[in-house]
Amino acid sequence: MSPRICLLGSILLSGCALLPAPATVSELPSVNPAQQRFQIECGTPEECQQQALLSCPHGYQQVDRSKRTITTHQMSMGVADPVTGFRPSFPQTSTFTTHMLLVQCPRTPAQPHPLGR
């Protein structure tokens, strides 16, 4: 296999790790049956607010918010260069921040089916 193909594959694989995870929304149990509680995890505070508005279209109350930052270090294999011999790679550092938003909102009543079924 060509060293250039190996290098390209290494770049593509390491690039996949740099993509942020999609937002996740989890419904949590609520003491008050008239209220819903959601835990939202996302890449930016703005994305969390958008997800909160989608989860609570009639408005929400922010209960808690936090963020967690994780830094990873990765060392990939070097490349066999036909002219100079083996060329080592350099370590790559990736930092990811996950924002968490805890919201509560009024539970929306079930809507009747438009065809009456």
| Domain assignment of residue 17, yes or no | yes
Give the pLDDT confidence score for residue 92 in this predicted structure: 85
pLDDT of 114 over the 80 cut: no
pTM greater than 0.85: no
Give the pLDDT confidence score for residue 44 in this predicted structure: 93
| Domain assignment of residue 69, yes or no | yes
CA-closest candidate to residue 40, choices 21, 24, 59: 24
| Residue 34 belongs to domain spanning | 3-106
Give the pLDDT mean for 48-74: 93
Give the pLDDT confidence score for residue 13 in this predicted structure: 47
CA-closest candidate to residue 16, choices 112, 94, 83, 115: 94
- CA gap 110, 115 in Å, rounded: 15
Q: Which residue type is seen at 49?
A: Q
| Domain assignment of residue 111, yes or no | no
| Domain assignment of residue 113, yes or no | no
| Domain assignment of residue 37, yes or no | yes
Q: Which residues have C-beta within 8 Å of that of residue 26, sequence separation ≥ 6?
A: 38, 39, 40
| Domain assignment of residue 61, yes or no | yes
Total domains in the fold of the chain: 1
| Domain assignment of residue 114, yes or no | no
Give the pLDDT mean for 62-71: 94
